[in-house]
């Protein structure tokens, strides 16, 4: 694990924490938090779980080996952290299989880092319905870690001198990447207004040269946010310029022991009520 402190780091108290599977995911799921932190008295930090060495390669990157790609993506992520003025960047550099298996080393590192960030305003994570298997696994690991910290929280210890001063985050939002969340029923849909954040998004995403060359994530993520805004409301002019969709996982994580399948079944049941419903 490497802890990188950008030269441009915002030294204010961390209020937004972004936890991503891969280098460049965080700039998509956490865009709202990054922008808010750059325009308030708080700051944001980011945790990246995997090394990203197994990404697709083609063209000028076709001869790049695993270890070299890890280094390329690490430098890209660090450059993005400078642009976003992150308070800190935690690079765990695990293989995707470690996250899918939720290995003891990966999980314990995540819990150790999370324990340092008490009473956050918002934690941005992958939504548990994401189509990418590593994103699903990342969401599950974060949910498990946050629940463990919550379950081990002792208010008496906090009140005593020398107690572990940890408070759970106020909000936990799972955000779309692989697969959109525009289908969510209104009861579950969480709107992240990114209308004012597009300029900083362009600067952030432009740092990931290797990924944009192969997959054009910069264009795809921006296009979806604009599309979300257009298709948000059918009978009125656009309310937003761009939005990302998320699902509010706060109560699911902190006030229940349900698993993701239970949550999915609840959401689908609610969605079924909208079929054939006339406004």
Beta bridge partners of 90: 3, 47
pLDDT tier for residue 161 given thresholds of 50, 70 and 90: very low
Q: Which of 160, 167, 242 lies closest to 200 in space, CA to CA?
A: 242
Q: Give domain status of residue 277, yes or no.
A: no
Q: Residue 125, SS3?
A: strand
pLDDT above 70 for 160: no
Beta bridge partners of 125: 174
As a whole number, mean pLDDT of residues 23-33 equals 98
Give yes or no for a contact between 273 and 186, defined as CB atoms under 8 angstroms apart.
no
Say how many residues make up the chain: 279
pLDDT in tens, 100-138: 999 999 999 999 999 999 999 999 999 999 999 999 999
Beta bridge partners of 18: 46, 124
Q: Give domain status of residue 182, yes or no.
A: yes
The CATH number for 141's domain is 3.40.50.10320
- pLDDT confidence of residue 232: 93
Q: Give domain status of residue 21, yes or no.
A: yes
pLDDT in tens, 181-208: 999 999 999 999 999 999 999 999 999 9
DSSP H/E element including 189? strand 189-193
pLDDT tier for residue 154 given thresholds of 50, 70 and 90: low
Q: Give domain status of residue 163, yes or no.
A: yes
Domain count, the chain: 1
Structure tokens at 138: 């990342």
As a whole number, mean pLDDT of residues 58-87 equals 93
Q: Give domain status of residue 52, yes or no.
A: yes
Q: Give domain status of residue 16, yes or no.
A: yes
pLDDT above 60 for 95: yes
* End-to-end Cα spacing for the chain: 52
Q: Give domain status of residue 263, yes or no.
A: yes
Give yes or no for a contact between 10 and 38, defined as CB atoms under 8 angstroms apart.
yes
Q: Within the chain, what is the greatest distance between any pair of CA atoms?
A: 60
Domain that holds residue 95: 2-272
Show the CA angle centred on residue 59, arms to residues 58 and 61, nearest 5°. 65
- pLDDT confidence of residue 63: 86
Q: Give domain status of residue 11, yes or no.
A: yes
d(CA 204, CA 101): 30
């Amino acid at each position: 694990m490497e802890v990188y402190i950008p030269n441009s780091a915002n030294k204010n108290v961390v209020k937004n924490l972004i936890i991503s599977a891969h280098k460049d995911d965080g700039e998509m799921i956490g865009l709202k938090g990054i922008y808010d932190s750059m325009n308030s008295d708080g700051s944001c930090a980011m945790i990246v779980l995997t090394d990203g060495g197994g990404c697709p390669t083609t063209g000028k990157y076709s001869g790049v080996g695993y270890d070299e790609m890890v280094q390329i993506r690490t430098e890209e992520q660090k450059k993005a952290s400078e642009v976003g003025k992150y308070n800190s960047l935690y690079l765990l550099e695990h293989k995707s299989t470690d996250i899918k298996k939720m290995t003891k080393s990966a999980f314990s590192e995540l819990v150790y880092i999370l324990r340092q960030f008490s009473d956050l305003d918002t934690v941005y994570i992958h939504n548990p319905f994401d189509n990418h298997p590593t994103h699903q696994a990342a969401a599950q690991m974060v949910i498990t870690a946050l629940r463990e910290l919550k379950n081990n929280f002792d208010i008496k210890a906090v009140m005593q001198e020398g107690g572990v001063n940890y408070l759970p985050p106020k909000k936990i939002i799972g955000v779309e990447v692989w697969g959109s969340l525009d289908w969510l029923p209104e009861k579950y849909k969480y709107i992240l207004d990114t209308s004012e954040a597009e300029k900083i998004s362009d600067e952030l995403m432009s740092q990931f040269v290797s990924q944009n060359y192969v997959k054009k994530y910069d264009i795809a993520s921006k296009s979806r946010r604009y599309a979300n805004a257009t298709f948000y409301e059918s009978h009125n002019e656009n309310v937003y310029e761009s939005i990302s969709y998320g699902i509010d996982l706060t109560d699911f994580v902190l006030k229940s022991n349900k698993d993701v399948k239970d949550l999915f079944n609840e959401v689908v049941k609610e969605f079924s009520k909208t079929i054939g419903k006339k406004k």
